[in-house]
């Protein structure tokens, strides 16, 4: 698990461009299977908590609050790696997922595959 | 390459929840290496063009226009798979990337890795 000192985390958080209503886009990817698990948003505080605690935190745009992924379900995401994109307005978090990522019981939130015959459930 | 008839594409586009200022978040992932290449946004038209042409289209939030990835650089993204998340407000596009995804010349836009000593260029 990656946990950074607060001063390093702050310098990282300062580099981001929170241009989507004060947020950056955050993609969580399983570090082992490489599956993309979910997409959500982070504000500066969510970035700081993610980097200093080693557990992924997001800003919920619907509930308008900070949350640690899995705080209720136990399906936490341990931070293994953290990458920033070229525009500094999106981050990619490499995680070890406990349980499953999707609140609907699927391992990944991306479980609806488009086919010629419409959507097909997967995973 | 996946190219769908317009009626199937429309029924897929209708299922999405364009709740981020009329857009969904779109993640492009290399179907072979599984690397996450970039994150951007799509409006309904971008979804339709992506599904019917077999080439990834995005909505540029900075230029406020539809664009086909690689239309100028030639670094197009061929659509291999297309998945919708549980909330239908994000999509994951599995692609074959021509050239590189990042306009800065890196294969992936996520090339800045956070380390204890700050950022390290990668890839």
pLDDT reported for residue B30: 98
- In this prediction, residues B37-65 reach a mean pLDDT of 97
Q: How many angstroms separate the CA atoms of A68 and A52, rounded?
A: 13
- Element (H or E) spanning A101, and its range? none
Phi, psi angles (nearest 5°) of residue A37:
-95, -40
What is the mean pLDDT of the segment spanning A66-82?
97
Name the residue with tokens 């936490």: A76
pLDDT at position A5 = 96
- The model's confidence at residue A80, banded by pLDDT at 50, 70 and 90, is very high
**Does ipTM exceed 0.85?**
yes
Per CATH, the number for A6-121 is 3.10.20.810
pLDDT of residue A123 exceeding 90, the answer is no
Residue A10: predicted pLDDT: 97
Q: What is the pLDDT of residues A23-48, one digit of tens each?
A: 999 999 999 999 999 999 999 999 99
pLDDT at B123 over 90: no
Q: Which of residues 18-57 of A touch B (CB under 8 A)?
A: 20, 25, 27, 29, 34-36, 38-39, 51
The full set of domain ranges for chain A reads: 6-121
Closest-CA residue to B121 (of A84, A75, A95, A60)? A84
First-to-last C-alpha distance (Å) of chain B: 26
Does pLDDT of A9 surpass 90?
A: yes
Which of the four pLDDT bands, split at 50, 70 and 90, describes residue B32?
A: very high
Residues of A in contact with B15 (CB under 8 A): 119
């Amino acid at each position: 698990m990656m946990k950074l000192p607060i001063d390093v985390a702050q310098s990282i958080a300062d580099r981001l461009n929170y241009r989507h209503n004060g947020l950056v886009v955050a993609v969580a990817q399983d570090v082992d299977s490489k599956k993309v698990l979910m997409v959500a948003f982070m504000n500066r505080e969510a970035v700081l908590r993610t980097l200093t605690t080693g557990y992924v935190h997001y800003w919920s745009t619907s509930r308008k609050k900070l949350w640690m992924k899995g705080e209720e379900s136990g399906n936490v995401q341990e931070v293994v790696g953290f990458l920033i994109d070229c525009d500094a307005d999106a981050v990619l978090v490499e995680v070890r997922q406990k349980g499953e990522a999707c609140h609907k019981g699927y391992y990944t939130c991306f479980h609806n595959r488009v086919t010629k015959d419409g959507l097909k459930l997967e995973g």
